[in-house]
Amino acid sequence: MDKKTTIGGQALLEGILMRGPSRSAIVVRKPDGELAVKIDEVGSASKLKIGRLPLVRGVVNFFNSMRYGMNAITYSASFAEEDTAEPEGRIENWLNEKLGNEKVEKALMGLAVVFGIAIPIVLFFMLPTLIAGLFGEGLPNIVRNLVEGLVRIIIFVLFIYVTSKQKDMRRTYMYHGAEHKTIACYEAGEELTVDNVRRHSRFHPRCGTSFLFVVMIISILFTSLFTWKDPLVRVLIRLALLPLIVAVSYEVNRFAGRHDNRFTMLLRAPGLLMQRLTTNEPDDSMIEVGIESLRLVIPENEDEDRW
C-alpha cells in the first residue's frame, strides 16, 4: 500500500460510518434508493493534546468509537423504521406528550449508547471471568486465567458466527466489505470509482475485529498477573484493568498496522481470519455508499490522516 490512513469506518444498517481526523460522515441508503448524509465536525483525532498521547489516545478513541458508533447505528436504523412504520403505542404516546419527541429520541439514543458499551463488557469480560471462577480451588491461578481467556475467545467467535448467519447481518457485513475495499483503494492512491474499489480485497489489517482479538490476548497477559480466586473480585479487577488493556491493545494494533514483518503478520492473522465471517463481497450500490462516506472525511492536508 502506498499509504496507511487513520481513517476508519463502521458498517451500519444499509450504510457506513467513516471517521476521519477532523470529521465523521454517515451515509445511509434509504428504502427509496436515495442517500441520506449526516456530517459531524468531530473526527477521530482528539482536540486535546493529552488525548493524543500514547496510551491515553487508545482509551479516548475506544470510547469515542463506541459512542459515535451506537449513535450512527441508531441513525441508520431510523430509516428502516420509517419504511415499516407502525402506530405508536400508549407508552410512546405518553412519553411524547410529557417530554416531547426530541427529548424522547435523545433519551433512547443515550440508552442505546449505554447498552452498546455495557453488553460487550458483560459478554466478553464479566461472563468469562465468572465461568472461569466456577472451576474453584483445584485449578492453579495461571490455568484459570488461561481458561478465562479461552472462554472469552470462544464466546467471541460464536457470537460472530451466529450473527453472520442472520439475513440482516449478512447485508451489514457486505457494507463492512465495502468499507474495507474503499479504504484500501484510497490507501493505494487510486481514484475512488466503483470499478477501482471493487478490485480490492475485503480484508483489511487495521479492522476493528483485529483490534478486539488483540484486546483479548492482552487481557489474558494482564490478568494472569493477579491471583484473586473470588469471582466477584476477579470481575472488579477486570473492569478496573479495562482502560489499561484497551490502551496497550491500541498501541500494539497501531504498531502492527504501521509495520509489515512476520511478527506483525502473526498479530494480524486472527483478525484477518475472522473477517471471513464479518465481511462479505458488496454490490455496486454498497460500494457507492463507501465511496461517498470516505470522500466526506478525507482531510485537505493529505498527511493529516497518515497512520
| Per-residue pLDDT, 160 | 85
Distances (CA, A) of 72 to 26, 65, 69, 291, 307: 7, 10, 5, 17, 24
pLDDT mean for each 10 residues of the chain (307 residues): 84 95 94 94 74 82 82 87 53 53 58 64 73 68 78 85 84 96 96 97 87 82 73 77 89 82 85 91 97 95 79
User: According to the model, what pLDDT value does residue 232 have?
Assistant: 75
In this structure, what C-alpha cell is assigned to residue 277? 465471517
Check residue 171 and give its pLDDT.
93
pLDDT the model gives residue 85 = 47
* 237 neighbors 223 (Cβ within 8 angstroms): yes
What's the pLDDT score for residue 143? 78
Rounded to whole angstroms, the Cα distance separating 257 from 271 reads 12
Query: What pLDDT sits at residue 177?
Result: 97
Question: Is 30:36 a contact under the CB 8 Å cutoff?
Answer: yes
Q: How far apart are CA 291 and CA 196, in angstroms?
A: 11
For residue 282, what is its C-alpha cell? Answer: 458488496
Rounded to whole angstroms, the Cα distance separating 300 from 287 reads 23
pLDDT at 39: 94
The pLDDT of residue 63: 81
The whole model's pTM is what? 0.80
Task: Name the residue ranges covered by the structural domains of the chain.
Answer: 8-295
**DSSP string computed for 91-108:** HHHHHHHHH-HHHHHHHH
| Helix, strand, or coil (residue 232) | helix
Q: In which element (H, E) is residue 204 found?
A: none
Cβ atoms 7, 207 nearer than 8 A: no
Cα–Cα nearest to 10, from 57, 64, 65: 65
C-alpha cell at 147: 481458561
Question: Residue 115's pLDDT is what?
Answer: 61
Q: How many CA atoms lie within 13 A of 194 on its CB side?
A: 8
Q: How far is the C-alpha of 137 from the C-alpha of 218, rounded, in Å?
A: 25
What CA–CA distance (Å, rounded) separates 290 from 9? 9
